[in-house]
């Protein structure tokens, strides 16, 4: 529905921004810069509206006082709810530092970033241009405490994520993970690439109490990986396989290990090869539709078509069923920027209910 974004009417914008007092959205990451809609009470979609590829959207968001929000798309009117932005957008911590420098809530999950900037240069991402900075644990914990007590957008689990640290900061990063896990009452997952010279980090983090791992492959083919994700290309598929296999062994697999594949940067064949590669390791593939977001090296690259996304999705559903896994993420609100939908199988859930 939102390949080409969504148009937001003036009435809907006034309602969403409380008459201009708060922003429509925050461009925290390339796939979270839209408004997050809930359709049919179970399908979560982050709908972009102000990037260059949103010039001719087919979908329009309306609001009226009688019926609330609804989306008009190809002759259909679909009732919608809108997820609020976190209530701490303008909050600062005890040292006067903006809270959103370290944490940000999306749907029912809070993202915490020990590293600002990144040692990788993935061409679809807008993080690499930022100056690399390590955040102290006390700053991260203070931000997390504010996010976890936010009543505007309550959170039920935590994701420690990038930028990716330099090898010289692995020890610092692991200490921070341990400190976060030991200081919070919510489940904690970790998003991070393999460490080819230290495969034991999976065991150490599992021993600390990490609930699950997101080990994102993103681009599969040799040539595409070399151009688009050069650092991950150098890590190599063998290291990804070894790390994912170990993570599955240590966590029990199921919904505990996932890996993201960007859909739209490679051929359908290569994309499905990536899904096969991950599924047979016992890992949930996560299909992330490519967005040519401003501020990235691929901002002028075309978006994938509806038809391409549909074919990849349907083929991927068949593939994961063969291997006994699912398309991730299993958490339904966290599906808002992925090509994943609840299927009434019981495999998908709301974290608040677990």
Summarize pLDDT for 107-124 with one digit per residue, the tens: 999 999 999 999 999 999
Element (H, E) at 276: helix 268-279
pTM for the predicted model, two decimal places: 0.96
Residue 200 and residue 225 in contact, taking contact as beta carbons nearer than 8 Å: no
In the chain, where the domains are located: 6-82, 99-353
What is the reported pLDDT for 254?
A: 78
pLDDT greater than 80 at residue 354: no
- Going by pLDDT thresholds of 50, 70 and 90, the confidence category of residue 78 is very high
Q: What is the pLDDT of residues 167-194, one digit of tens each?
A: 999 999 999 999 999 999 999 999 999 9
Residue 310: which of 276, 271, 350 has the closest Cα? 271
Query: How much of the chain exceeds pLDDT 70, in percent?
Result: 100
pLDDT greater than 70 at residue 1: no
Q: What is the pLDDT of residues 275-306, one digit of tens each?
A: 999 999 999 999 999 999 988 999 999 999 99
What is the reported pLDDT for 67?
A: 87
**Rounded distance between C-alpha atoms, residue 42 and residue 219, angstroms:** 29
Q: What is the pLDDT of residues 216-274, one digit of tens each?
A: 999 999 999 999 999 999 999 999 999 999 999 999 987 899 999 999 999 999 999 99
pLDDT greater than 80 at residue 2: no
Q: What is the mean pLDDT of the chain?
A: 95
pLDDT greater than 70 at residue 318: yes
Residue 67: which of 77, 56, 52, 54 has the closest Cα? 77
pLDDT greater than 80 at residue 40: yes
- Going by pLDDT thresholds of 50, 70 and 90, the confidence category of residue 129 is confident
Q: Give first-to-last CA distance, the chain, whole Å.
A: 30
What is the reported pLDDT for 13?
A: 97
Residue predicted with more confidence, 252 or 1: 252
What is the reported pLDDT for 236?
A: 97
Q: 137-141, 205-209, 250-254 — which is least confidently predicted? A: 250-254
Q: Does domain 99-353 have CATH number 3.40.50.300?
A: no
Element (H, E) at 45: strand 43-47
Q: What is the pLDDT of residues 146-170, one digit of tens each?
A: 999 999 999 999 999 989 999 999 9
Number of other residues whose CB lies within 10 A of the CB of residue 66: 4
What is the reported pLDDT for 145?
A: 98
**Rounded distance between C-alpha atoms, residue 255 and residue 286, angstroms:** 11
Q: Which DSSP string corresponds to 139-162?
A: HHHHHHHHHHT-SSS---EEEE--
For residues 327-346, give the mean pLDDT: 94
For residues 307-332, give the mean pLDDT: 97
């Amino acid at each position: 529905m939102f390949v080409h974004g969504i148009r937001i009417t003036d009435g809907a914008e006034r309602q969403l921004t409380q008459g201009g007092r708060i922003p429509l959205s925050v461009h925290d990451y390339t796939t979270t810069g839209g408004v997050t809609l809930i359709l049919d009470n179970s399908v979560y979609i982050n709908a972009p509206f102000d990037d260059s590829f949103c010039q001719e959207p087919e979908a329009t968001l309306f609001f009226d006082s009688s019926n609330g929000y609804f989306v008009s798309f190809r002759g259909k009117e679909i009732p919608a709810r809108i997820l609020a932005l976190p209530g701490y957008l303008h909050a600062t911590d005890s040292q006067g530092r903006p809270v959103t420098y370290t944490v940000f809530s999306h749907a029912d999950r809070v993202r915490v970033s020990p590293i600002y900037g990144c040692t990788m240069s993935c061409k679809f991402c807008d993080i690499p241009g930022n100056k690399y900075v390590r955040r102290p644990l006390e700053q991260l914990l203070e931000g997390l405490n504010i996010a976890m007590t936010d009543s505007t957008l309550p959170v039920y689990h935590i994701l420690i994520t990038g930028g990716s640290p330099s090898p010289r900061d692995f020890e610092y990063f692991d200490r921070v993970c341990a400190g976060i896990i030991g200081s919070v009452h919510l489940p904690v997952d970790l998003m991070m690439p393999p460490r080819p010279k230290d495969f034991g980090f999976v065991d150490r983090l599992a021993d600390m109490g990490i609930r699950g791992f997101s080990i994102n492959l993103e681009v599969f083919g040799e040539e595409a990986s070399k151009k688009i994700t050069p650092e991950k290309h150098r890590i190599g598929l063998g290291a990804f396989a070894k790390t994912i296999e170990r993570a599955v062994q240590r966590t029990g697999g199921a919904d505990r290990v996932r890996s993201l594949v960007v859909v739209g940067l490679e051929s359908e064949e290569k994309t499905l090869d990536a899904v096969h590669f991950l599924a047979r390791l016992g890992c949930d593939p996560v299909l992330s539709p490519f967005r040519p977001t401003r501020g990235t090296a691929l901002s002028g690259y075309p978006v994938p078509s509806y038809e391409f996304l549909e074919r990849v999705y349907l083929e991927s559903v068949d593939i994961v069923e063969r291997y006994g896994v699912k398309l991730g993420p299993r958490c339904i609100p966290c599906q808002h920027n992925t090509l994943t939908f609840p299927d009434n199988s019981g495999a998908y859930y709301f974290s608040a209910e677990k």
